[in-house]
Amino acid sequence: GAGWNFVLWGAYHGFFLVLERILTHSSVSKADSSPNLGEQPRIQPASAHTSPKLRELVRRTGGVCLTFVVVMVGWALFRIENLADCWTFIARLFSFNFIASPDTGFSSQFIVTLIVALAFAFVTLFPFGKKLQQWTFHTDYTSRQHLGVWIVACLLLFFCIGALTATDFSPFIYFRF
């Protein structure tokens, strides 16, 4: 059904998209403005001696972390209809309270799921991940590759359907069978 939390999520997402466009446009504009010919070069501040690669790494890492936090908080808005519960959830995200939930705990299943989720979330930051992404989405497959990927996709689809259904299925013993 409809809910105000979806409106809020849309506004939240839209806000950060606009902000990102503004900031990106500003930094692109600054990069385009170069000194006129004949002007004496200004005395560079000490930070200018920092390696460009390091600056780029810090910028990118900060950007990735900030984007991750913004998107995760946004998912809470999307998923939780009751706004009071939503604020409580978001507060808990930043509470740094590592006492495990009694229902799930830090079980092996939780840890495996977390590792897989982290891998999918951040793998494309690394060269290996970029290559994998390139091969997966931007390369023409051979017929054999099409077939192989299709089989894997079908198996994963079937597995996901099983996961969606099995978690709600708890039969009981009514009589001996």
CA 107 to chain centre: 23
Lookup: tokens for 61: 């890492």
Nearer to other proteins, 62 or 105 (CB): 105
Q: ∠10-13-18 over CA atoms, to 5°?
A: 120
Q: Distances in Å between the alpha carbon of 50 and those of 45, 53, 86?
A: 10, 8, 42
Nearer to other proteins, 87 or 150 (CB): 150
Nearer to other proteins, 47 or 101 (CB): 101
Min dist. Cβ of residue 80 to other proteins (A) = 14
Min dist. Cβ of residue 9 to other proteins (A) = 16
Nearer to other proteins, 52 or 102 (CB): 102
Min dist. Cβ of residue 79 to other proteins (A) = 14
Nearer to other proteins, 120 or 158 (CB): 158
With CA atoms as reference, report the closest residue to 60 among 133, 116, 122, 149: 122
Min dist. Cβ of residue 175 to other proteins (A) = 5
Q: ∠132-136-141 over CA atoms, to 5°?
A: 130
37 exposure class (CB count in 10 Å sphere: 0-12, 13-18, 19+): exposed
- Which residue type is seen at 59? R
Min dist. Cβ of residue 164 to other proteins (A) = 7
Q: Distances in Å between the alpha carbon of 101 and those of 44, 94, 106, 136?
A: 53, 16, 8, 37
Nearer to other proteins, 63 or 162 (CB): 162
Provide the binding-site residues for other proteins, judged by CB under 8 A.
1-2, 102, 105, 107-109, 112, 141, 143, 146-147, 150, 154, 158-159, 161-177
Min dist. Cβ of residue 154 to other proteins (A) = 7
